Amino acid sequence: MGGQNAKPITSVSSAGPFRLVYFDVEAAGEKVRLAFCLAGIPFEDKRVKFEEWETLKPKTKYGQLPILQVGDEELYQSTAMLKYVALAAPESGLYPLSDPVKCVRIDEMMGLIADFQNLWAPCFYVAMYPERLGHAGAVDKAVIEKMRTAFVENEMPKFMDFFSKAIGSSFVCGDTPTIADCVLFPQLRYFTRGVADFVPPTCLEPYPLITAYIDRVLSLEPIKKWYDDNAKM
């Protein structure tokens, strides 16, 4: 990793090759992978093993992944990466600078999605990293159940209503996918996979516009191919 010595990013249109360095999970990296797919830009999908991380972490600028390596330069923060990928493929319409009002709407929706994810984060992390949360051992399952059930019952209805109204029968910000879809879609798909205790895979069924949206994104050719090729995840 270039760390403090990484050169600044100086161009977008002639950029590449791209190498996304992240863990072998979806989380903060998947949105960037999906943006590459929708932009039609090939990239190296470098997956760092958790046991490699202790050695790698101090060599990174912020002690975190993902990192997007562009040639011999480095970019940090997944939301910045999304815009960089979109700008490298302006014809994709993923973040159309030629339509500033649409970009503002995309940013608005990404803020709303971040609000939703920030409410989910403590419910997710309570089952992990107990030392960071100020207690020594595993959290009582009843606490995790209480937090996650409250999220599903109180926060999901409110946000699914917001997202349903924005999406209607298309995508988050209009008739074609944007970087806002790259953020929202993997988060929603995660909730349907039954991988989080106390978040039933049926939790989005009360929201038909949302389940239809998930199917719509999954049927986009680049996204379909991505999940066909990465079926293990």
Ligand X SMILES: N[C@@H](CCC(=O)N[C@@H](CS)C(=O)NCC(=O)O)C(=O)O
Binding site for ligand X (CB under 6 A): 27-28, 57, 63-66, 77-78
In the complex, the smallest distance separating the C-beta of residue 223 from ligand X, rounded to whole angstroms, is 21
CA 199, CA 134: separation in Å to the nearest integer?
Answer: 24
Token reading at 225: 């191919």
Token reading at 182: 């790259």
In the complex, the smallest distance separating the C-beta of residue 112 from ligand X, rounded to whole angstroms, is 16
**Full strand arrangement of the beta sheet holding 44-48:** 44-48, 18-23, 67-70, 73-76
Q: Which is nearer to ligand X, 116 or 207 (CB)?
A: 116
In the complex, the smallest distance separating the C-beta of residue 57 from ligand X, rounded to whole angstroms, is 5
Do residues 58 and 74 make contact, with C-beta atoms less than 8 angstroms apart?
Answer: no
In the complex, the smallest distance separating the C-beta of residue 11 from ligand X, rounded to whole angstroms, is 22
Token reading at 100: 């500033």
Q: Which is nearer to ligand X, 77 or 192 (CB)?
A: 77
In the complex, the smallest distance separating the C-beta of residue 43 from ligand X, rounded to whole angstroms, is 16
Q: Which is nearer to ligand X, 57 or 216 (CB)?
A: 57
In the complex, the smallest distance separating the C-beta of residue 98 from ligand X, rounded to whole angstroms, is 26
CA 27, CA 187: separation in Å to the nearest integer?
Answer: 8
CA 75, CA 169: separation in Å to the nearest integer?
Answer: 34
Q: Which is nearer to ligand X, 54 or 91 (CB)?
A: 54
Q: Which is nearer to ligand X, 31 or 148 (CB)?
A: 31
Q: Rounded to an integer, what is the distance from CA 28 to the centroid of its chain?
A: 5
From 71, 20, 75, 27, select the one nearest 48 (Cα to Cα). Answer: 20
Q: Rounded to an integer, what is the distance from CA 188 to the centroid of its chain?
A: 10
Q: Which is nearer to ligand X, 65 or 188 (CB)?
A: 65
CA 85, CA 91: separation in Å to the nearest integer?
Answer: 11
